[in-house]
Structure 1
Amino acid sequence: MSESNTGLAAAGAQPHARASGGVQSLERAFDLLEVMADAGGVIGLSRLAQESGLALPTIHRLVRTLVDLGYVRQEPSRQYSLGPRLIRLGESASRLLGTWSRPYLAALVDALGESANLAMLDGDRVVYVAQVQSKQSMRMFTEVGRRVYPHCTAVGKAMLAHLPPSDVQALLGRSGMPAHTEHTITEPARFAEEIDRVRAQGYAVDDGEQEIGVRCVAVSLLGTSNRLAVSVSGPAPRMTPEVVERAVPLLRQAAENLADVLNVNRSSDADRVAG
Structure 2
Amino acid sequence: MTTAPKGANQGGGVQSVERAFELLELMADSGGEVALSELADRSGLPLPTIHRIMRTLVGNGYARQQPSRRYALGPRLIRLGETASKALGAWARPYLAELTEATGETSNMAVLDGAQIVYVAQVPSQHSMRMFTEVGRRVDAHATAVGKAVMADLPPDSVNQLLSRSGMRPQTERTISTVEEMQHELGRIRQHGYAVDDGEQEVGVRCFAVAVPDAPAGAAISISGPEGRMTRISLDEVIPLMQRLAHELADELAVSDTA
* Structure with greater contact order relative to length (CA < 8 Å, sep ≥ 6): 1
Please tell me the root mean square deviation across aligned C-alpha atoms, in Å.
1.4
Cα distance in 2 for partners of 1:256, 1:51 equals 32
SS at the partner of 1:232?
strand
Q: How many residues align?
A: 251
Alignment partner of 2:83 out of 89, 92, 100 = 92
Tell me if structure 2 keeps the 8 A contact 1:140–1:234: yes
1:39-188 matched pairs, under 5 angstroms: 39-188=30-179
Q: Which amino acid aligns with 2:106?
A: S
Cα distance in 2 for partners of 1:204, 1:102 equals 21
The question of 1:228 aligning with 2:219 is answered: yes
Partner of 2:5: none
User: How far does residue 46 in structure 1 lie from its aligned partner after superposition?
Assistant: 2.1
Cα distance in 1 for partners of 2:28, 2:236 equals 34
Cα distance in 2 for partners of 1:96, 1:209 equals 29
Alignment partner of 1:219 out of 194, 200, 210 = 210
Cα distance in 2 for partners of 1:47, 1:255 equals 36
SS at the partner of 1:81?
strand
Alignment partner of 1:197 out of 179, 188, 198 = 188
Query: Identical aligned pairs, as a percentage?
Result: 59
Partner of 1:28: 19
Cα distance in 1 for partners of 2:207, 2:131 equals 10
Alignment partner of 1:251 out of 230, 234, 242 = 242
Cα gap change, 1:202/1:53 in structure 2, threshold over 3 Å: closer, same or farther?
farther
User: How far does residue 21 in structure 1 lie from its aligned partner after superposition?
Assistant: 1.7
Cα gap change, 1:246/1:76 in structure 2, threshold over 3 Å: closer, same or farther?
farther
Cα distance in 1 for partners of 2:127, 2:133 equals 15
Cα distance in 2 for partners of 1:259, 1:60 equals 36
Q: Structure 1 stretches of 5 or more lacking a match?
A: 1-17, 269-275
User: How far does residue 194 in structure 1 lie from its aligned partner after superposition?
Assistant: 0.9
Cα distance in 1 for partners of 2:196, 2:236 equals 11
Cα distance in 1 for partners of 2:211, 2:145 equals 10
Q: Point out the more displaced range, 18-27 or 59-68.
A: 18-27
The question of 1:206 aligning with 2:197 is answered: yes
Cα distance in 1 for partners of 2:32, 2:115 equals 9
User: How far does residue 26 in structure 1 lie from its aligned partner after superposition?
Assistant: 1.0
SS at the partner of 1:255?
helix
SS at the partner of 2:80?
helix
SS at the partner of 1:226?
coil
Cα distance in 1 for partners of 2:232, 2:127 equals 19
Partner of 1:11: none
Cα distance in 2 for partners of 1:29, 1:207 equals 40
Cα distance in 1 for partners of 2:136, 2:197 equals 20
Tell me if structure 2 keeps the 8 A contact 1:203–1:217: yes
Tell me if structure 2 keeps the 8 A contact 1:154–1:218: yes
Q: Which amino acid aligns with 1:240?
A: T
User: How far does residue 19 in structure 1 lie from its aligned partner after superposition?
Assistant: 6.8
After superposition, what is the alpha-carbon deviation per residue over 1:207-232, rounded to whole angstroms, capped at 9, x for unaligned? Answer: 01011111101111122211111001
SS at the partner of 1:135?
coil
TM-score, with normalisation over the residues of structure 1? Answer: 0.87
Tell me if structure 2 keeps the 8 A contact 1:217–1:244: no
Q: Which amino acid aligns with 1:25?
A: S
SS at the partner of 1:148?
strand
Tell me if structure 2 keeps the 8 A contact 1:183–1:207: yes
User: How far does residue 89 in structure 1 lie from its aligned partner after superposition?
Assistant: 0.9
Partner of 2:6: none
User: How far does residue 244 in structure 1 lie from its aligned partner after superposition?
Assistant: 3.2
Q: Structure 2 stretches of 5 or more lacking a match?
A: 1-8
User: How far does residue 104 in structure 1 lie from its aligned partner after superposition?
Assistant: 0.3
Cα distance in 2 for partners of 1:159, 1:95 equals 20
The question of 1:264 aligning with 2:255 is answered: yes
SS at the partner of 2:229?
coil
User: How far does residue 191 in structure 1 lie from its aligned partner after superposition?
Assistant: 1.5
